[in-house]
Amino acid sequence: EAGVTQFPSHSVIEKGQTVTLRCDPISGHDNLYWYRRVMGKEIKFLLHFVKESKQDESGMPNNRFLAERTGGTYSTLKVQPAELEDSGVYFCASSQGDSGNYGYTFGSGTRLTVV
């Protein structure tokens, strides 16, 4: 079974530019999550999709971040315009059902550096 795939693995952009991160969940997983780890700190929840619907987006930092999951398959996370504090590792995870029973499968992450 293919795992959760994220790309790019690394991205370096200038402040003010736009970046789009992509996540392909495990096939058949309705739940898709985005998390972020700023250097040395905790991994923080950003949002949760169930199929194509946003179930919880309480962790999105501000309106410069836009997440989509068209058709309930892959998801994109766009940052526009990027700021220095957006640097970090962005993780995507997916689960088959309730995460408490099934757990998450994380992707390897996208390391975003804003300079």
Partner 1 sequence: QQQVKQSPQSLIVQKGGIPIINCAYENTAFDYFPWYQQFPGKGPALLIAIRPDVSEKKEGRFTISFNKSAKQFSLHIMDSQPGDSATYFCAASKVDFNKFYFGSGTKLNVKP
Q: Which residues bind partner 1 (CB under 8 A)?
A: 4, 31, 33, 35, 37, 40-45, 48, 55-56, 59, 91, 93, 95, 98-101, 103-109
CB of 48 to partner 1, least distance (A): 5
CB of 58 to partner 1, least distance (A): 8
Q: How far apart are CA 68 and CA 77, in angstroms?
A: 7
The residue among 16 and 97 lying less far from partner 1, judged by its C-beta, is 97
The residue among 8 and 16 lying less far from partner 1, judged by its C-beta, is 8
The residue among 71 and 100 lying less far from partner 1, judged by its C-beta, is 100
**Burial zone of 10 (CB within 10 Å; 0-12 exposed, 13-18 middle, 19+ buried):** exposed
Give buried/exposed letters for 19-34 (b at 16+ CB in 10 A, else e). Answer: bebbbbbbeebebbbb
